Chain A
Amino acid sequence: MTRVDPWRFAGAFIAKALGSQIPETPTHPPIPWTPVSKPLAESKVALLSTAGLSMKGDVPFDMEGERKRPTWGDPSWRRLSADATSETIEANHLHIDTGYIERDLNVALPLERLRALAAADVIGSVAPSHYSIMGYQGRDASVLESRSGPEIAAAMKSEEVDLALLAPV
């Protein structure tokens, strides 16, 4: 049985800083649950990344605000088109090396791979829109939780998305 070491790449400083925020036993509220209603091969799938991705020409995530106020992170969200590539997006995130994403978007938002799975009938279809937030929220994730989360959910509903696959970076 594999057991993933969550700190293997973090380094001691970050492992301690983040690890100290996480309780050893669950303290979360009851977990929401929506049963899967149809086979994967018939489902429309949308992806979401926390890499601070925006389409070139769209308003980028606010890095200057975070530089001025290090305990703040941009809580807004962006819509990405299903044919986005490294050439058509930009990544703004001050906590990772975004150079990998700029060379190959699929490391964090695998749209090419998702299209291949749709072509192979593993999934039903690729949603018209995909989404990004910027993962670092500083002290206060309340805007992300109370505004951006429900807005992204509503955008997915309006495109009749069946399944959402999220990936923090």
Chain B
Amino acid sequence: MGLVARRIEEAGIPTVTLDMIWVYQNLIGMPRVAAIEHPFGRPYGDVGDAETQEAVLRAALHLFETAQTPGTVEHLPFRWHEDPKQTKWHPAEPSPIIALIQKRRKQ
């Protein structure tokens, strides 16, 4: 996604990337990053939680107004409502690459 952010920015449209794994910034170099500590699959908030979804959206958009330097990373102050152990985000079956790695480890 960060690569796409760079292409869009190069084309003349400012971008913000709302990112859980914001440390990818070191590898990719995104113009503006809003770091969020939410589980994979639900970056803006949980199902039906319109209040959090709007607050995260507003916070990410706010970065367009405040960021002055290429590569700005802003850590957003949101706390997920469940403990990681209670938070389900995995697919029902492992992704093909994970299944392949696990198979190779067993061999």
Chain A interface residues (CB < 8 Å from chain B)? 1-10, 13, 17-19, 21-36, 40, 43, 45, 48, 50-51, 66-67, 70-71, 93-98, 100-101, 103-104, 106-108, 110, 112-114, 116-117, 122-123, 133, 135-136, 138, 141, 144-145, 148-150, 152-154, 156-157, 161-169
Residue tally, chain B, CB below 8 Å to A: 75
A94 contacts B42, CB within 8 Å? no
B15 contacts A164, CB within 8 Å? yes
A108 contacts B70, CB within 8 Å? no
Complex interface: chain B residues within 8 A of A101 (CB): 41
Chain B interface residues (CB < 8 Å from chain A)? 1, 3-31, 35-48, 50, 53-54, 56-58, 60-62, 64-65, 70-71, 75-77, 80, 84, 87-92, 95-101
CB < 8 Å: which of A2, A71, A162 contacts B76? A2
B71 contacts A136, CB within 8 Å? no
In the bound complex, CA of A17 to CA of B104 (Å) = 14
In the bound complex, CA of A169 to CA of B36 (Å) = 11
In the bound complex, CA of A163 to CA of B67 (Å) = 13
In the bound complex, CA of A24 to CA of B23 (Å) = 8
Complex interface: chain A residues within 8 A of B47 (CB): 100, 103-104, 107
Complex interface: chain B residues within 8 A of A103 (CB): 47-48
